[in-house]
Structure formats: C-alpha cells, structure tokens
Structure 1
Amino acid sequence: MQTHEIRKRFLDHFVNAGHTEVPSASVILDDPNLLFVNAGMVQFVPFFLGQRTPPWDRATSVQKCIRTPDIDEVGITTRHNTFFQMAGNFSFGDYFKAGAIELAWTLLTNPVGQGGYGFDPERLWATVYLDDDEAAALWQDIAGLPPDRIQRRGMADNYWSMGIPGPCGPSSEIYYDRGPEYGIEGGPEANEDRYIEIWNLVFMQNERGEGTSKDDFEILGPLPRKNIDTGMGVERVACLLQGVDNVYETDLLRPAIDLMAARAPRGYSQGNHGDDVRYRIIADHSRTAAIIISDGVSPGNEGRGYVLRRLLRRIIRAAKLLGVDDPVMADLMTVVRDAMGPSYPELVGDFDRIQRIAVAEETAFNRTLASGSRLFDDAARATKASGTDVLSGTDAFTLHDTYGFPIELTLEMAAEADLRVDEEGFRGLMAEQRRRAKADAAARKQAHADLSAYRDLVDAGPTQFTGFDELSTEARILGIFVDGKRVPVVAHEPGTSESRVEFILDRTPFYAESGGQIADEGSIGGTGASETARAAVTDVQKIAKTLWAHRVTVESGEFVEGDTIVAAVDPRWRHGATQGHSGTHMVHAALRQVLGPNAVQAGSLNRPGYLRFDFNWQGALTDDQRTQIEEVTNEAVEADFEVHSFITDLERAKAMGAMALFGEAYPDEVRVVEIGGPFSLELCGGTHVRNSAQIGPVTILGESSVGSGVRRVEAYVGLDSFRHLAKERALMAGLASTLKVPSDEVPGRVANLVERLRAAEKELDRLRMANARAAAANAAAGAEEIGKVRVVAQRMAGGMSAGDLRSLVGDVRGKLGSGPAVVALLAEGDDDAVPYVVAVNPAAQDLGLRADELVKQLGAALNGRGGGKADLAQGSGKGAAGIDAALAAIRAEIARR
C-alpha cells in the first residue's frame, strides 16, 4: 500500500466517524518552545489548555513534523526520520478511552476492502500506564487482546506531556510484532526493533507542573475536560505494509537512494553498513530540507536556518563519502518533489525556489570543504612534524565546528595521510558542546503563555476592526486586564508603579501589529459621565488571532468594564505607517522587476517613515541594481497608481498571481492589495495609502546580508526621506566649501585625497618597519646568553601589529645562527593591547623549549591568550605596564631548562 493511500485511508476513516479534517499546519509555528512542529497535536494546544474553545468536538489531521535531536541516529536505526507525517485523531471533551481504542483497532485490523489496513490482529500488542486498569480492560473487551499481549510501563514510556507545564495524561501504545527474525520474544519491553510502535493514544486528562525529565514532574490536577490526542506514524505503517526492513526503503524515500546508487561507485545494501547509513541520510535529509524550505526557511547560522544548513551539508558530505563528487542537490530535490507532490502540492508549485536555495547551499559548502581541506593538510603536516601519527582531538573538533567536517570525513582523510585521530578527545569536546547547547535550550524553554483569562472573550467573537475606513470610533470596553488578570475597573493612580493595562474593545480603528507593520498609537477617551477618563494607546497586539488587546497608560480618570469610549488613532502616526507599508510593496515589486521572480520576500518591518525588506537572494546587489530598484520604485510613486483592496478566496488570489509570504498560514478568505494593476499584487492585511504618490520619495539607505541567501534593503519614505536627502545635500555643500570645488567635483577631489593619504601611510609604515628591523638587528647583535640559549626578549616600538612582529622575529631568529635561540618580541598596541610573538629555532626545541609553551608565560603576565606551534606562537594581552614582568617571566622559564 503506497504512502499516499495510507494517508487517505486514515483521514477517510475518521471523517466517516464524524471528525473534521484539519489541514497540516506549517512546520513553523509561533511557539517559544518549538524550533519546528514536532507532534501532531501542536496546533491544537490552545484547545487542550482550555485557552480557546475548539470549533469542533472531533478532528483529524496528518501533520508535517520535524524532530532534530536525533539527527545523528538517522540511518543507523530502522525507524528514525527527521521529517515524518503524524496522523492523528482528536477528541475535545467528546469520546475518551473506549472511543479512541475502538477507532484505532478497527482502522488497523479491518480488511483492505473495507477501508482498513488489514493488519493481523494476532501480531498487535498494546502497552498501558502502570495503574491504568481501565485501558487494560478496554483492550481486552474491545480488541480481544489477551492479557499477555498488554504490557504495563512507567511514566517514561506511557505517560505523555509536552515536556513543560501543560496538558498531560497516561497513554496507550500499539505495537506490531515483525517476527522472530527481528529479535527476541517478549513484547515491546523486550525488544522495540522487533516490536515496533505504530500508534500512541494519549488520554489527556491532567495538568502537569514543572519538572526535569519525562518522569519527574508534579501532577497539578485534572483538566477542565478529558481529551484524546493520538499519533500514528505514517512512515512506520508504510514500512510494515510495504514489507520493507526500514523506513528509508518505503516508496517516498527509496527513489532518492536509487538515484544516488546509480551514481556512486559502491551500491546500496551491498554489505557495507557505513555506506547504507550514508544513503539513508541522503534520502531522509533531502525530504526534510525540501519541506523546511517550502515553509519559508533559508540556510543560516542560527535557529531553523542552522538546522536546514546542517541537513543540507550532511547530504553533501554523505555523497562525497560514497564517492560522488559531482553536484547532487538539484536532482535530489526533483526526486523529493515527484515523490511527495501528491500529498504536498506546495512542493510542486514552489519547486524552483526550493531547488535554487538547496543548490546555492551546495555550491557554498563545496567552497567551504575546499577551505577545510587546506586546514586539514596544515594540521596533518604539523602532526607529522611533531613526531606523532595522531591528529589531535582539538584539530578534529575545529574541522567539525568551523568547517562542518563530520568525524567520519576526518577519519577517512587521516587514514589516507597515514594518521590516526584522537577520537576520544574529539568526542569529549563534542560532549561539552552538547552540554552547553542543552543547558542553553533548557534555559529558554518555558511554559505556554496562560491565555485562559481571555477565553470568554475569545469565545464571544472577534474584535471588529474598522481601521480601513475610519480613524475614530465609539466602542464598548468588553474587558480590562491588569498584568494578565481581568479586573472590573482601572483608574489613574499618580506615583504608583507602572502595570501593564489592556483594554479589549468590541470594535476598534487601531491596527494590531502583524505582517511586518507595527501597531497604531493614539488614545482612548471616556464619554458622558466618564469624559474625564483618558488613556494613551502605546501598543496593540492580537490574542488568539481574533481579539485586539490595546495596551494603554491611564492618564486620567477611570475606566469601567462595559463603558462606552471613543478610540482614536493618531492620524499622523497612521499616515506615516501607511507610507511605510505601501512603500514596502513598491520596493518588493521593484526588486522582482530588476532581479527577477526569485527575489521573494523573507520578512519585513515598516513603521512611520521607514521600511525594512528582507528577500531571498544570493550575493550582494551591484550599485547599478540598487540604483535601478530605487528608480523603479520612485517612478511607480510618481505614476500615482491607485491602491485597491478586496477580499477573495485564497486559491483565486493565488491564481491571480498575488504574492504571499512563504511559511505564513492564510485563511480561506484573504485580503488582496493591488497597486497599479499588475505592478504590485500581494496578500496583505495592513493599512495603505490611497494613491502611490502619497508615499512620497523613497530613498534606499543600504543593502546588506542577514544570513545565507537572505538580503536586506532599508529605506526612508515620505518626509523622513526628504529630511535624509536634505542632510546629504548639506553634507555635500559643506565638503564642496571646504575643498573649494563645485559639488560635482567633490567625489574626485575626495578620491585624490584618500589616495595621497594611503601613499603617505604606506611610506610611514615602510619607515617604521625599517627602524624596527634596525632595532631588531641591534637586538640580535646584543643577544643575551641564558644557559646554552641565545635570547632576544624585548619591547618594540608602539603601533606594531602581530603581523609586524611575526616578520621581525623571523629576521632576528635568522641572525642568531644555528645554536639554540629564542626570540620574544612585544609591542604596545592600540587601546592598551599588547601583541606578542615567540620564535624558537630547532636547536632550542631539542633542549625542550617550545614557542607554544613560552607564549603562555607572556599571556599569564599580561592577562592574555595565545597559541601556536613548537617553532612559532603568538598572542595578545592587555596592559603595557606588565611588559617588563612578562619579559622577566620568559627569561626565568628559559633559565629553568
């Protein structure tokens, strides 16, 4: 049975049982605890917590999930995937244990002809929580499972929570016995390779408190109502129904393995476990990378971008270790599209962008591999020169951490150079890095924000936004909240500490921050008997995407829940905000006109007078491109295009060519903003000018990188643009006056002055180095004898860099002859810095003196750090006052040898 059919049967089974089919959420959700969605229930968390009332009693979905903690296990085990599809059914206060068990059992065991999966009931096992007698009895009554195929397990295995305070409850897992060829008998407790988990039924009935592990937390009490949350692993079921040994050989992943096997000199499943792992890594990571890119992520150096980069680089490394040096990413993305497209059509529609980003990362990493290979060659030469055949764990870790080299690649390259690797040292450094990362992640993890105080208002219906048509309106206060708690009244109290006060209104002209546009500012005033009441609105945020929470400072009087008030947006603020937002659309359109359709939005921010626009693009813009973008934008402003907005369904908007933000979840009905007909057409819920001329001049301030494959343009609009240009004009006029030339000759005159200044600086550097070399020659002639060693240890003239000192120690060492010699030079640098360099010739090394050890003596006296090799080392410290003590320390160390 193909995977797409497995998905369809699951959804059909539960829809026929009265469940509403809910589409998969993006793998990126606004959740402070999750890098990616990692479970099927994540999008339903507000319903389980009681923060929002679900629109249905029963739901079903097949959710895209990504789990990254076990990346290193991919390909090694039979069941680990970074991307997987979690099929689930959910009950919100409707059926409970009996219903969940019956629905799962019938789908698994019903014949294929009746819509089921046709599993043999005799090969199914169940586990329940230790004291869950009810679930154990239900498995016997409903499924007919004998007691010896129902095992009881502790909290670590059969009690589920999100790992943070929130909903939790006992669970019951369903396992399939793959047969004696996969391991010993005895059920899941004995062997989870033979008995493979395929479905987890969570009986969500309690709320947990803080804790440190899966089985170390307090149960605070029952939830307001009992819920069901289940998860069936689609890939694992496909593995069983397709009769393959592991999840990597199912119909959705095997095509990538076959593609690589046709290119590699060594095939798949030929008895080489290491190669098989590499094939599986390529297949698994290719699919995960395509999904992540599809949902709006680009490779980067932190967060989600870093995970994506790591996955793509593991693919490239695995291919090279299989002996494939040619580019592979373009074809792998094509295979993923063809395999996954029937279930995820966005992979087809967005394929050009997905493939382009993946290929660009492959190109960049191939350059990195070349740089890392040079570092390895240097480390290998130094290792051999030191008389050992073991590459240090530090060198291996540097290759991994800085250049992304896996230890397997380092081991292979070391073997080719007749070297071994200190794997124990490497793994110790890796373990330390993981401990730091784990501690950092734990520090950031937090409970979900408690929004239950707003639940009644959320259930009552959304705030009516009137701001597209008016800036002032009468409204009623539906709720007042102080520091997250609902209160009946709030008053101005001079001298008291500032509290966070929020008003929820039934209708409002205030724009709530979203879509890159910051919130409106303005005021809320009382009416009638309360007309002395006044509050300044400083921010507006959405709660549960439906309520507008106005954060206010009460300036006078008091406000009571139920009061009628007047909510008024600051018109100057709104005008500037609409200029910024409409200007963002214009810049986006200009970028695509100049650079082409691949310049796709990756984020934005606009506030009065200013806009910031991020877009996917490889490489910096040229001066000509930047000028063109600015000109196209301002030509569109001058054209005075009309701005229209209208509501339509999402599919029709996309068919019209309306631009959407990748990774953003849109409702079935969307608002489209059109500026100048085909010039700009975007899905947008923000406020805009009525005609493009109202934006005013747009001045691009700069363009920069904000991550791999993502560029940022910043610009002023309207009066802020005019003020910026006025400052630039005044600056130019001042330069022209100082240089006594017309304005148009200023650039040439400045360039000439800069060239003359550089020439003077070069001459000064030449003279300084000539003087330094003369001083070094004198120092060599007057070298002191410390034991058997000739020593030059002295302070050099200020302003010398570490590079200058390296050049000088080489000169001095060469003048000291072949006998044992040590040269240590220090200089007073800028900001009280003290660079230092130590050189030790071979004869001195034979006496046990090493530059990398001597440099530590300087560092200790100067509160500095340094390192290097036996013949040459350098470092930098602080405090010129410590130079004499540092020189004395190094002389004393030489004297001890």
Structure 2
Amino acid sequence: MQTHEIRRRFLDHFEKAGHTVVPSASLISEDPTVLFTIAGMAPFKPYFLGQATAPFDRATSVQKCVRTLDIENVGITTRHNTFFQMAGNFSFGDYFKAGAIEHAWELVTGSVEDGNYGFDPERIWVTVYEDDDEAIDLWKQIAGLPEERIQRRDGEDNYWDMGVPGPGGPCSEIYYDRGPEYGAEGGPVADENRYLEIWNLVFMQDVRGELSPKYGNPPVGSLPKKNIDTGLGIERVALLLQGVDNVYETDLLRPIIAEAERLSGVVYGTDHASDVRFRVIADHIRSGTLLIGDGVTPGNEGRGYVLRRLLRRTIRSARMLGVTEDVMPTLTAVVRDQMSEAYPEIRADYSRIERIAAAEEQAFLKTITSGTKLFENTAAQTRSVAGSAISGDAAFALHDTHGFPIDLTLEMASEAGLSVDQAGFTALMQEQKARARADAKSRKGGFGDLSVYRELLDAGATEFTGYTELKSEGVLRGIISDGKRVPTANVGDIVELVLDRTPLYAESGGQESDAGTIFGPNAAAEVLDVQKVSKKLWVHQVRITDGELAEGQKVQAQVDPEWRVGARQAHSGTHLVHAALRQVLGPDALQSGSYNKPGYLRLDFAWTQGLSAATRSEIEEVANLAVRGDLAVAVKYATLPQAREMGALALFGETYDETVRIVEIGGPWSIELCGGTHVEHSSQVGPLSLIGESSIGSGVRRLEAYVGMDAFRRLATERALVAELAGLLKVPTSDVPSRVEQLVERLRVAEKELEKYRGAALLASAGGLVDVAEQVGTVSLVAAQTPDGISGGDLRTLALDVKGRLGGKPGVVALFSVTDGAVSFVIAATQAAIDDGVKAGDVVKSVLPTITGRGGGRPELAQGGGTDPSGVPAALAAVRGALG
C-alpha cells in the first residue's frame, strides 16, 4: 500500500466517523518554544491547554512535522527521520478511551477492501500505563486481545504531557510484531525493533504540576473534560505495509536514493558508510525542500540555520559518495514528484524552492573553498608548535563559525598526517546544545500564562472596527496585570485591556500595531502595543495616564490619525513594491517576509543575486507610476480556495482562516491575501523612495523604502546635499558625479605615489638598521622597535630586506611595531643562522609572553602580534636571551 493511500485511508476513516478534517499546519510553528511543528497535536495545543474553545468536538489531521534535535543520528538508525507525517484523531470532551480504542482497532485490523489497513490482529501487541486497568479491560473487550499481548509500562514509556504544567495523561501504544528475524520474543518490553510501535493513544485526563507524572509524581488535578490525542506514524505504517526493512526503502524515500545512486555510481547496500550517506541525502533533501516550501530560507540562526545544516549535510554526503556535479536541482525535483500528491503547493512553488536550494549549494561550495584555506592555516599553526592534533576549539570554530563540516575536517586532517581532538570538539558541541536546550526551556511555560484569556475568549471574539473608523465605543471586558485578572487599574499602571470592539490594529502581517488612546468615564490610557491572542482577542497594552479604569465600563478607543495615515501608506506601499518587483523580475520574485510602520517599509523576497542600480531604479519607477496612476484599492472576502483561483498571493509563514480578506490594487496587477489597513487609492501612498537593497541570507534579498512624507524628506535631504556639493565643487548639480569621479581618481593616483615614496623611505631605513646590528654569540642580531603605524605587511618587507643585507653570515632580524595599541612583530633568520641551530619559529616562543601575543612560523620567518605594547622592550630582551 503506497504512502499516499495510507494517508488518505486514515483521513477517510475518521471523516466517516464524524471528525472534522483539519489541513496540515505549516512546518513553521506558532509555538514560541519551538522552531518547527514537532507533533500532530501542535495545532490543537490551545484547545488542550484551555486557551481557546475548540470549534469542533472531534477532529483528524495528517500533520507535517520536523524534528532535528538528533540530526547527527539520521541515517545511522533506519527509523529516524527529520521530516515525518503524523496522523492523528482528536476528541475535545467527546469520546474517550473506549472510542479511541474502537477507532484505532477498526482501522488497523479492518479489511483492506473496507478501506482499512488489514494488519493481522494476531500480531498486534499493546502497552498501557502501569496502573491503567481500565485500558486493559477495554483492549480485551473491544479487540479481544489476550492478557499476554497487553504489557504494562511505567510513566517514562506510557505517560504523556507537554513538558510544562498543564494537561497530560496515560497512554496506550500499538505495536506490530515483525517476526523472529527482527529480534527477540517477549513483546515491546523485550525488543522494540521486532515489535514496532505504530500508534500512540493519549488519554488526556490529568493536570500535571511542576513535576511530571512521567517520573512518579502525582497529578495535581483532573481536567474538567477528558480529551483524546493520538499519533500514528505514516512512515512506519508504510514500512510494514510495503514489506521493507526500514523507512528509507519505502515508496517516497527510495526514489531519492535511486537518484543519488545514479549521480554517484555507487549502489545502495554496498557498505554501511555509503548507506548512511544515501539515507542522509534522502531524509535531509526531503525535509529541506518542504521547509523551503513553507517559507524557511537558509541563514545563520534559528530555522534558517537548521535548514542550512540539512542542505549542506545533503551536499556533503553527495560529495563523499563521489558526486561532483550540482545535486540540488535533481534531488529537489524528485522530492517534488514524490510529495506533491499530498502537498500540491510544492509543485506550484517549485521554481522558487529549487532556486533557493541551488543558491545554497553554490554558497556552500564557496564555503568549502574558503574553509579549506582556513583548515590549511590551522594545520600550519598546529605544526608550527610541533603539534600533531588540531584542537577541539579550532575544529569547532571551523564547523560553527565557518560552516565547515567536522567530517571534512577529520578527512583533511588525516590526509595531512594530523589528528583532531574529537573529544574537545564533541564537548563544545554538547555545550552548544545544552545552551540551546536551556534557552528553549527558559521560553517554555508561556502557554500556561495564556489561560488567563480563556474566559475572555469564551465570551466572544473582539470585533475589529478599524477598517471603517478610527473611533469606537466599546465595553472594557477585562483588565490583566502581571498575568492575572484585576478589577481596576490606576494612574501609572501598565496593564492589558481587552475590549469587545476596537479600531486599533493589532500587530500582524508585518504591520506594526496602531498608536492611540483609550478613554473611560473619568480616565485615559496611552496605547503602547496591541497584540492578538488566538487570532480572536485584541489585547491592548496601555499606560494609565489619568483616573481609574474598571472592568465593565464603557470606553472609547481612538487611533492616532497621523499614525494610521502613515501605516496605511506603508502597507499599501509594500504591496506596490511587491507587484513592481514581480513585474520587473518575474513571477518567481515572491515576498517571503515584510515589516512596515508609518513612513517605512521593508520587503524580503526570494532571489539569488543582487539587483543592479538600473533594476532598482526600474522597480522604484514602476511603483511610483502605480502611485501616479491613482489605482483603485478594493477589498474582497472569499474562501481560501476561491482566493487562490483569483490569483491572490498568500505569504509564506502566514496562516489563514477559511474565509480570507483579499486586497486588490489596480485589479489583478496586485492581489494579495492581507489583513492590514490600506489606502483607498494608490495615489494616497505618496512618493516612494527605495533606500536600500541587500542580502539577508542565501537566496533572500531585502528591499527597504520610505513612503509619503518620509520619502519626501529623504529626497529633499539628498537634494540639499547635492546642492551643497555643487557649491563646494563650483559646478552645476548635473556635473557633480563626474567631478567627484575626477577627484577620486586624482586621490587614487596621489595615494599610489605616496605609497611608492613611503615604501622607498621604509627600505632606505634598512641600511640604518643593519648599521646598528649587535653580536650575540655567533649571530648578528638586528632587534628594534620601528616607528608606530607600520603594518604587518610592511614590517615583513622591511625585515626581509634587512635579512638580505646581512649576507651569508648567521643573522637574525627582530622588528616590532605598535599600531592602535596592538603590537606586530616579524622575526627572520638567515640560512647560516638556521644551520647553526637558530630558528625564527623557536625565537617567537620567547617573545609571546612579554606582549600577551600569538604567532608562529617557519625556521626562516615567523610573525605574529600581541595586545600589550608596554612589553616590547622586554620582547627585545627576550630575543637577545633566546640567542645568548
């Protein structure tokens, strides 16, 4: 049975049983404690936590998930994937244990002809929480399972919670016996390779406190409603129903391996090391492709960093299999073909996905080139101090700072006759992971705090009136201070206010929240921020500036009209720039993020190269022509499928309700899904001036612009600047560029002449230095501190010239210079001195402690620097001591 069919049967089964089919949420998690969606229940978390009331009693979904905590183990084990599909059914106070077991047993063991999976019931085992006698009785009654195929396990295996105070409960896991060829008899407690878990049924009934029942701590209470949360691993079921040994041989991953075989000429199954590389390629390219599809772009932090690692591990694994050509275009195409049936947006957006992946490959190849040079320097420094192992610090810096893979460092070190302090490297990696986990842990718990809004959410959503008015009468439904409901707030208090209706825009879609004021009968409050909770509740953070506000009062909320004018101009201006960008560069130049506030906007878009000055000017002109054209701005509402049929653009990383708001500017010229505030006609945007274009990551560029009065002020400032330059240069303003170019060229020529004279003067001083050479033992020593400000390169040139003037006798040159509080030094030895046993690299070791320095080199030449200029006299003495 093919994976897509397994997925379809799951959803059909539960839809027939009265469940609402919920589409997969984005891989970009809305949970601030995690980067990605890591579980099928993640989109339903607010309902389980009591932050919002579920709009349905029962639901089902197949959720895209990514987990990357143990990314290094991918491919080594044959069951671990970073991307996987978690199928689940959920009950919110509806059915409980009996219903969950009935639904699961029917789908797992029911006949294939009836739309089920058709597993042999005699090979099904289950585990239950150690004291859950009720679940054991239900498995016997509903499934007819014998006692010996039901096993009790402790909380670490069969109790589930979210890792923070909140709901939890015992669970029951379903396993399939793969047969004696896969391991020992005795059920899941004996061997979880032979007995493969396919489904986990969580009976959510408890409230856990600070300490989890997973480790023997009692729950602190019971939930008012008992819920069901289950998770079936689509890939694991596919493994079993397709009769293969591991997930990498299933129908969606094996074709990727086949393409890697074709590219490399290596056959999968030849040896373990190659097989691991094939599996890394298959897993990571699928995860990477789907992450790009959901709007993640490669970068150096957060989600972007994880994506970059996935793509670069793919490329590196292909190189280690002997592939020399680019792999991203062909491998992402295989993922597109395999996954588009379940996720058609991948095919629709493939050109952008492929372009970003290909750009990252080119960037990584450059990293390998530069990293190779850094490695060679590191290896040289290691040898210069007679070392045989590259330090863990150096290996970690290559990996973490420069993106140079540790396996490549190990390989090149071996080729260079060196080893690597792998223990030191591993320790630093563990420290980094520990910091990341600690950071994530420190951010956990925020969901618990949001329960204060539950009653307010249940009372109904906030009505947003700001599309049509700037003042609204409303009722103050709630005051929140330090996470708790309070009845009143007084002058000086900073609190959160929840109104039943408001004209103040809550930050979303890249648009900053409105500024404004909220007035009570005898009070006033300055609005500092406005945010949404669960997309329904507008929460106003305010400072009470006069009087006292109390829950239940009638209030008036007002938007600062000047603020709103600028905000509308900026948001509409963002749409104009996006449309202009697509007109100039083509339809693949899609917005991947934005931010706007009064007078200013920035727009991130998928593109692999910088824009020329001419292209930037063209984009700016197209946008301003749209302003001059006084295009009508229209707002429509439709279902999401209808909006897509109209050609409306949805933005990456945004989630949309079933009914969406569509903003058109000039009809089809610009049509986007958007909840922001906009002008009525494009002319109201006013002038638009691009102020910058830059790279913010592999395959992503950023445009910045001013609009309205801010754009006018910038242009006026530039006009005044040009006029001032024209006055200074005594030329018409039109001639300023050519005149400045002439001056720059004259300055360049003058600097070259100055450099020539300076170099001649520097070399002329060499003779004077030779004249003051002193005899230390058998060696003629030139040791001196040169005038301040001589660069390391010039110091090296001078030292070599002095060395040459010493002729064939034993001689050492040691020169020191101080520039901006830092010391540079060069030590050179003649061949005759080297023959007598004097080596520049050895002399350096005596110098470093005196100036708090670092350095090294070869017998004939060594150099370095230090941070303590006061130690230069001692350094000169140390050189003499090393020769004496």
Interval of TM-score (by shorter of Structure 1 and Structure 2): over 0.9
Partner of 2:251: 251
- What CA distance in whole angstroms lies between the structure 2 residues aligned with 1:150 and 1:869? 71
Partner of 2:481: 482
- What CA distance in whole angstroms lies between the structure 1 residues aligned with 2:529 and 2:632? 30
C-alpha RMSD over aligned residues: 2.9
Retained in 2: the 8 A contact 1:88–1:231? yes
Partner of 1:429: 425
Moved more, 97-106 or 303-312: 97-106
Change (3 A) 1:384 1:889: closer
AA partner of residue 876 (structure 2): L
Question: Post-superposition shift, 1:514?
Answer: 0.8
Partner of 2:23: 23
Question: Post-superposition shift, 1:882?
Answer: 3.4
Retained in 2: the 8 A contact 1:127–1:150? yes
Q: Which residue, out of 717, 733, 742, partners 1:743?
A: 733
Question: Post-superposition shift, 1:221?
Answer: 4.0
Q: Which residue, out of 524, 528, 534, partners 1:544?
A: 534
Q: Which runs of 5+ in 2 are unaligned?
A: none
**Equivalent position SS for 2:552:** coil
Q: Which residue, out of 756, 766, 791, partners 1:766?
A: 756
Partner of 1:368: 367
AA partner of residue 288 (structure 1): S
Retained in 2: the 8 A contact 1:210–1:217? no
Q: Does 1:695 align with 2:685?
A: yes
Partner of 1:460: 459
Offset from partner CA, 1:224-246 (integer Å, 9 cap, x none): 43322211111011001100011
Change (3 A) 1:477 1:869: farther
- What CA distance in whole angstroms lies between the structure 2 residues aligned with 1:310 and 1:56? 39
- What CA distance in whole angstroms lies between the structure 2 residues aligned with 1:380 and 1:322? 25
Question: Post-superposition shift, 1:392?
Answer: 6.8
**Pairs within 5 Å for 1:65-144:** 65-144=65-144
Q: Does 1:672 align with 2:662?
A: yes
- What CA distance in whole angstroms lies between the structure 2 residues aligned with 1:189 and 1:56? 37
**Pairs within 5 Å for 1:323-334:** 323-334=322-333
Identity %: 59
Retained in 1: the 8 A contact 2:46–2:52? yes
- What CA distance in whole angstroms lies between the structure 2 residues aligned with 1:250 and 1:73? 19
**Equivalent position SS for 2:263:** coil
AA partner of residue 290 (structure 2): I
Partner of 1:301: 300
- What CA distance in whole angstroms lies between the structure 1 residues aligned with 2:838 and 2:218? 60
Partner of 1:625: 615
Change (3 A) 1:373 1:582: same
- What CA distance in whole angstroms lies between the structure 2 residues aligned with 1:839 and 1:124? 78
- What CA distance in whole angstroms lies between the structure 2 residues aligned with 1:147 and 1:806? 84
AA partner of residue 157 (structure 1): D
Moved more, 375-384 or 702-711: 375-384
**Equivalent position SS for 2:587:** coil
- What CA distance in whole angstroms lies between the structure 1 residues aligned with 2:91 and 2:131? 23
- What CA distance in whole angstroms lies between the structure 2 residues aligned with 1:397 and 1:491? 54
Retained in 2: the 8 A contact 1:858–1:889? yes
Change (3 A) 1:55 1:873: farther
**Equivalent position SS for 2:788:** coil
Q: Does 1:803 align with 2:793?
A: yes
Partner of 2:233: 233
**Equivalent position SS for 1:470:** coil
Partner of 1:835: 824
Offset from partner CA, 1:479-518 (integer Å, 9 cap, x none): 11222221122222xxxxx543121111111111111111
- What CA distance in whole angstroms lies between the structure 1 residues aligned with 2:561 and 2:387? 75
Question: Post-superposition shift, 1:223?
Answer: 3.8
Q: Which residue, out of 432, 445, 450, partners 1:448?
A: 445
- What CA distance in whole angstroms lies between the structure 1 residues aligned with 2:857 and 2:800? 15
Q: Which runs of 5+ in 1 are unaligned?
A: 493-497
**Equivalent position SS for 2:277:** helix
Change (3 A) 1:697 1:883: same
Partner of 1:601: 591
- What CA distance in whole angstroms lies between the structure 2 residues aligned with 1:850 and 1:244? 64
- What CA distance in whole angstroms lies between the structure 2 residues aligned with 1:388 and 1:656? 67
Retained in 1: the 8 A contact 2:385–2:856? no
- What CA distance in whole angstroms lies between the structure 1 residues aligned with 2:814 and 2:142? 84
Partner of 2:768: 778
Question: Post-superposition shift, 1:624?
Answer: 0.5
Retained in 2: the 8 A contact 1:822–1:841? yes
Q: Does 1:521 align with 2:515?
A: yes
AA partner of residue 515 (structure 1): G
Change (3 A) 1:473 1:325: same
Change (3 A) 1:219 1:256: same
AA partner of residue 495 (structure 2): V
Question: Post-superposition shift, 1:36?
Answer: 0.8
Question: Post-superposition shift, 1:545?
Answer: 0.7
**Equivalent position SS for 2:205:** strand
- What CA distance in whole angstroms lies between the structure 1 residues aligned with 2:210 and 2:119? 40
**Pairs within 5 Å for 1:503-582:** 503-526=497-520, 530=521, 532-582=522-572
AA partner of residue 867 (structure 2): K
Q: Which residue, out of 711, 722, 726, partners 1:721?
A: 711
Q: Does 1:591 align with 2:581?
A: yes
Moved more, 863-872 or 179-188: 863-872
Retained in 1: the 8 A contact 2:493–2:544? no
- What CA distance in whole angstroms lies between the structure 2 residues aligned with 1:77 and 1:15? 35
AA partner of residue 743 (structure 1): T
AA partner of residue 71 (structure 1): I
Offset from partner CA, 1:793-835 (integer Å, 9 cap, x none): 43222222223233333334444556765544322213x2333
Change (3 A) 1:546 1:883: same
Q: Could you tell me the TM-score, scaled by structure 1's length? A: 0.92
AA partner of residue 825 (structure 1): L
Q: Could you tell me the TM-score, scaled by structure 2's length? A: 0.93
Retained in 2: the 8 A contact 1:396–1:421? no
**Equivalent position SS for 1:589:** helix
Retained in 2: the 8 A contact 1:823–1:839? yes
Offset from partner CA, 1:390-410 (integer Å, 9 cap, x none): 777666556544554444445
- What CA distance in whole angstroms lies between the structure 2 residues aligned with 1:294 and 1:681? 21
- What CA distance in whole angstroms lies between the structure 2 residues aligned with 1:235 and 1:463? 42
- What CA distance in whole angstroms lies between the structure 2 residues aligned with 1:157 and 1:333? 37
Question: Post-superposition shift, 1:209?
Answer: 4.7
Partner of 1:495: none
- What CA distance in whole angstroms lies between the structure 2 residues aligned with 1:176 and 1:228? 22
Moved more, 335-344 or 445-454: 445-454
Moved more, 586-595 or 730-739: 730-739
Moved more, 464-473 or 793-802: 793-802
- What CA distance in whole angstroms lies between the structure 2 residues aligned with 1:152 and 1:828? 74
**Equivalent position SS for 1:599:** coil
- What CA distance in whole angstroms lies between the structure 1 residues aligned with 2:817 and 2:384? 30
Question: Post-superposition shift, 1:254?
Answer: 0.9
Retained in 2: the 8 A contact 1:616–1:711? yes
